[in-house]
């Protein structure tokens, strides 16, 4: 995931994911799912489980890795195949040559989520879908994303515009926060203190040096 991507749920998209149809190296049982997804969901919701005979009877969520900048295309094509699809997006204010602009980005670049019961609807066609690289797997089994992860994403989606809102975190001295807007968007900083009701002092590390900066509180977002 690029520098501007949130770390919500710890899920970043610099993938070393095991993709459907590509066998694991011989002699290892190591899961080949997105490493941050596995770590975050294990810490918060227990181990990410593999699809087994009991879970196959129920609808489950699966992570699908897309081709670069193809999340929207993949969502449309997967929807046409009858999959329920979730493509979380955010809006960011960033600096461009023409000035500050609002840009729409994927919350998890190169990832969308689908819901399916593999016993009734095969996941095999997903890999050949336009815009898709494959289904994230643990070994040879598709990795289920816990419902709690999806519920937390959906809970942050604004009902009016459909975009994920990254709430300002609780600010305590020493807390690590993420800057979500402006020329420093995507950078992490350490909260130092409040300056009135709407501004904060942060400690930012750049180019191997530390500097204090003052920003509007509203540009900060959660870093989970």
Task: Write the DSSP string, 158-197.
Answer: -TTT-PBP-PPPP--TT-EEEE-SSTTTT-EEEEEEEETT
Q: What is the pLDDT of residues 32-42, one digit of tens each?
A: 455 555 544 44
User: Does the 8-155 domain belong in CATH 3.30.70.2860?
Assistant: no
CATH hierarchy code of domain 176-221: 2.30.30.30
Residues of the chain with CATH 3.30.70.940: 8-155
The contacts of residue 205 (CB under 8 Å, 6+ apart) are: 189
Tens digit of each residue's pLDDT (9 = 90 or more) over 52-97: 544 445 899 999 999 999 999 999 999 999 999 999 998 877 777 7
Q: Is 29 exposed, middle or buried (0-12, 13-18, 19+ CB in 10 A)?
A: exposed
User: Which residue in the block uniquely carries the two structure tokens 């992490």?
Assistant: 188
Model-level pTM?
0.57
């Amino acid at each position: 995931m690029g520098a501007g991507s949130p770390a919500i749920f710890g899920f970043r998209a610099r993938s070393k994911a095991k993709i459907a149809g590509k066998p694991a190296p011989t002699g290892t049982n190591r899961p080949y799912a997105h490493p941050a997804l596995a770590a975050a969901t294990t810490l918060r919701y227990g181990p990410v489980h593999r699809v087994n005979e009991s879970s196959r009877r129920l609808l489950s969520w699966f992570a699908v890795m897309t081709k670069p900048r193809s999340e929207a295309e993949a969502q449309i094509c997967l929807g046409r195949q009858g999959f329920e699809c979730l493509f979380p997006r955010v809006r960011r204010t960033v600096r461009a040559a023409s000035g500050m602009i609002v840009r729409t980005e994927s919350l998890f670049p190169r990832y969308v989520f689908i819901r399916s019961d593999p016993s009734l609807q095969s996941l095999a066609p997903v890999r050949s879908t336009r815009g898709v690289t494959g289904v994230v797997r643990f070994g040879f089994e598709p990795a289920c994303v816990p419902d709690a992860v999806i519920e937390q994403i959906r809970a942050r989606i604004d009902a009016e515009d459909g975009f994920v809102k990254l709430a300002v975190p609780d600010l305590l001295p020493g807390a690590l926060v993420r800057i979500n807007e402006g020329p420093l968007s995507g950078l992490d900083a350490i909260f130092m203190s409040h300056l009135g009701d709407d501004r904060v002092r942060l400690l930012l590390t750049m180019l191997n040096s530390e500097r204090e900066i003052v920003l509007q509180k509203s540009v900060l977002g959660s870093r989970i």
